[in-house]
Amino acid sequence: MLKLIIFLMCFGVIFANNFWIVKPGPKYPPTKGEVWPKPQYQTKEKTFYIFNPLQFKIMSTYQTCDILTNAVERYFYILTSQIGGRIRKRKERAHRRHVSQGLNKGYINNLEIALMEPCEDYPHLNMDESYNLTVSATSTLSSPSIWGVIRGLETFSQLFYLSDDRNEIRINSTQIYDFPRYKHRGLLLDTSRHFISVTNILKTLDAMAMNKMNVFHWHIVDDQSFPYKSEKFPELSNVGAYDLSMVYTKEDIKKIIEFATNRGIRVIPEFDVPGHTASWGSSHPDLLTECYEGNKVVGLGPMNPTKNRTYILLRELFQEIQTWFPDRYFHIGGDEVGLDCWRSNPEIKEYMKNNTLTVAGLHALFMRRVIPLLTNNSKLIVWQEVFDEGVKLANDTLIQVWKYNWITEMINILIAGREVIFSSTWYLSEMSSEWPDFYLPDPRKMVYGITLNKNLLPGIVGGEACMWGEMVDDRNVINRVWPRASAVAERLWSTLDDKMNFKLEIPTETYSRIEEQTCRMIRRGVDAQPPSGPGFCNV
């Protein structure tokens, strides 16, 4: 049946009352000047202003700082070159008609930015991203925080649209008050299964900013390759990277963090331990556990938790990483540890016996010894297994839920007083899922549906779309992430329409709005894929 539906879809049949009626043109024509993710409060009038790239100015009053100057320059360029560049050439529009004279309120001249408080240097979990925006001849954008200003500039740029006759760029009289529903809105990118170039990481950050996402979770190393080029342990990537050219240097990382900071995006590195570490073993096999079958060593498994050398290397390495990555949060993984390998190893068996430990207890012991290796006032993110196996964790540790028991898992974590990042239904690596599959689930709504307990909900601080790297490389990663991650971005930012639940359909307006968002990303250099069917971007 599913296959039949896919086939019918493939042949472009539209399921109307009379399904034999088809119509020419795009399935969902893009909206014009609608914002993605949808702002919390927005009123929009029919009257509009005309945009003239030559006379438009952005001015900032009150506070300023490098991040603000950089953002103003960036959006001035987007507005004047990329958006302004879309109008027809002067010659073509000689016979311009003024059909909507009554709604036309003249030119938009300025955007005045009022940043009310001094800039912060780096974005953080509790940053303020709220802003107020009023569009008129002299428009104003105000926020207590540089991060709010950046979000507001993005919104402002998205309100412009090309008139139907393609003769002018317009922006409607609009009032917006906006802020995010969740404070942690992330994208995980895996650069170990396939190497992703710095260029495409920067492009990804740019697209994240267009979708108001604020955490780049960099799953930098894993079993397959170790592209982090350490200064203290160069052998890790010399031997463990796919190729000497497929590495991230200190300078690359600095560039990525600076680019992200300018867009209000945090960069959180993940160095997953003690599992997912085969590539560490390429240069340091003695870090890993020898797995046995009977009396025979049959391969290498997770890190060996009984050896001091493991912790010595981790301490040195983590210290280096933490001087390169300014975010206070550090993701130490902890998922899918090959406990059976530990179980098979005679030395470890002996160790467990002597210390009356189970393998889960051994995992807990490992984590307990690793956590203090991080610098003071570090905060942790871990995969759910670390919670499940009873490791004692600091109160501010975030638990990332990714498995299929997500609702009970979230409830357990919340009842234990911990905070949750949700990812289970947001695996972009599930290639057959399209954006509507990612759009519907909301972690707070799911937990509330079961518990009817509103007090638990603030403990869900956000979520992350995860693009594991098995089936994406530098050539298709942008296409496979966007616009599917945009669905997660809107779910995490915007108020949830109570009428929309798992059984109901997503409104047609949303289909049309993600078409516009896709065309917008393409126009700004992000090669997003078609979201929902036949169509085109007339740029």
**Cα dist. 477→60, 150, 288, 458 in Å?**
36, 26, 31, 33
Residues 89-148 contacting its own copies, CB under 8 A: none
Encoded tokens for 12: 């472009």
Residue 79's Cβ-count burial label (10 Å; 0-12, 13-18, 19+) is: buried
Half-sphere CA count of 345, side-chain side, radius 13 A:
23
Residues 325-384 contacting its own copies, CB under 8 A: 335-336, 338-341, 344
Q: Is 312 in the site for its own copies (CB under 8 A)?
A: no
Q: Is 217 in the site for its own copies (CB under 8 A)?
A: no
Q: Which is nearer to its own copies, 194 or 513 (CB)?
A: 194
Q: Is 18 in the site for its own copies (CB under 8 A)?
A: yes
Q: Is 295 in the site for its own copies (CB under 8 A)?
A: no
Q: Is 448 in the site for its own copies (CB under 8 A)?
A: no
> Does an H or E element contain 381, and which?
strand 379-383
**Would you give the DSSP letter of residue 228?**
B
- Report the DSSP pairing between strands 138-143 and 131-135: antiparallel
Q: Which is nearer to its own copies, 43 or 358 (CB)?
A: 358
Which listed residue (50, 202, 440, 522) binds its own copies by CB under 8 A? 522
Sequence-ordered alpha helix ranges (H) in 283-338: 308-324
**Residue 430 beta carbon to its own copies: minimum distance, rounded to whole angstroms:** 6
| Strand ranges, E, within 195-281 | 215-219, 266-270
Q: Is 430 in the site for its own copies (CB under 8 A)?
A: yes
413 strand-pairing partners? none
Residues 194-213 contacting its own copies, CB under 8 A: 194-195
Q: Is 534 in the site for its own copies (CB under 8 A)?
A: yes
Q: Is 293 in the site for its own copies (CB under 8 A)?
A: yes
Segment contacting its own copies by CB under 8 A, of 34-42, 360-368, 386-394, 399-407 = 399-407
Which amino acid would we find at residue 155?
T
**Residue 412 beta carbon to its own copies: minimum distance, rounded to whole angstroms:** 19
**Residue 422 beta carbon to its own copies: minimum distance, rounded to whole angstroms:** 15
Q: Which is nearer to its own copies, 115 or 528 (CB)?
A: 528
Q: Which is nearer to its own copies, 147 or 195 (CB)?
A: 195
**Residue 101 beta carbon to its own copies: minimum distance, rounded to whole angstroms:** 28
Contact (Cβ atoms closer than 8 angstroms) between residue 73 and residue 59: no
113 strand-pairing partners? 60, 141
Which listed residue (211, 279, 400, 423) binds its own copies by CB under 8 A? 279
Segment contacting its own copies by CB under 8 A, of 155-163, 253-261, 445-453, 470-478 = 470-478
Q: Is 502 in the site for its own copies (CB under 8 A)?
A: no
**Residue 58 beta carbon to its own copies: minimum distance, rounded to whole angstroms:** 31
Q: Is 246 in the site for its own copies (CB under 8 A)?
A: yes
**Cα dist. 487→42, 161, 299, 400 in Å?**
20, 22, 41, 19
Contact (Cβ atoms closer than 8 angstroms) between residue 177 and residue 35: no
Is position 336 annotated as part of the catalytic site? yes
104 strand-pairing partners? 48
417 phi-psi bin (left φ>0, alpha ψ -120 to 50, beta other) = left
In the block, which residue shows the tokens 């925080």? 145
The three-class DSSP label of residue 166 is coil
Active-site residue identified among 112, 316, 336, 434: 336
The three-class DSSP label of residue 512 is helix
Q: Is 30 in the site for its own copies (CB under 8 A)?
A: no
In the block, which residue shows the tokens 């100057």? 69
The three-class DSSP label of residue 221 is coil
**Residue 426 beta carbon to its own copies: minimum distance, rounded to whole angstroms:** 12
Segment contacting its own copies by CB under 8 A, of 18-26, 104-112, 204-212, 497-505 = 18-26
**Residue 221 beta carbon to its own copies: minimum distance, rounded to whole angstroms:** 10
Q: Which is nearer to its own copies, 153 or 410 (CB)?
A: 410
Nearest partner of 509 among 490, 536, 485, 481, judged by Cα: 490
Q: Is 15 in the site for its own copies (CB under 8 A)?
A: no
Active centre residues (catalytic): 336
